[in-house]
Amino acid sequence: MGRLTSAERRRILLLKEQARQHMTGSLVSTAAIDRGGECRRRPPRLPNTVLSFALATGGLLFYAFVEFHAPASLVEAFLPRW
């Protein structure tokens, strides 16, 4: 039991080959379509650069106007400031 005839083995082999060809063909065609779409949908770099520059400049300006004095010791950190 569990033994296949040569005709059944051949039929299974042909079905596997057909499935392999179908999968490889569909993967190749979808990969070509996806690559073309990615190139068109890539966002331009200028808005990202401007946003990064604005955030960095704003951070530097904020740092220049806000004074932050780190406490010299842990005791000074918990003392009230007058």
30-81, pLDDT tens digit by residue? 555 555 555 566 677 888 899 999 999 999 999 888 877 787 888 888 887 7
pLDDT value at 17 more than 90? yes
- Give yes or no for residue 27 having a pLDDT over 80: no
Residue 82: pLDDT above 80?
Answer: no
Q: In b/e form, how buried is each residue of 33-44, taking b as 16+ CB within 10 angstroms?
A: eeeeeeeeeeee
Judge whether residue 7 has pLDDT over 60.
yes
- Please name the residue ranges forming H helices in 1-82: 6-41, 45-65, 74-78
Residue 8 has pLDDT above 80, yes or no: yes
Q: Which residues neighbour 78 within 8 Å (Cβ) at sequence distance 6 or greater?
A: none
Whether the per-residue pLDDT at 28 is higher than 70: the answer is no
Contacting residues for 35 by C-beta, under 8 A, at least 6 apart: none
Q: Give the start-to-end residue ranges of the domains of the chain.
A: 6-67
DSSP state of 4: -
d(CA 63, CA 53): 15
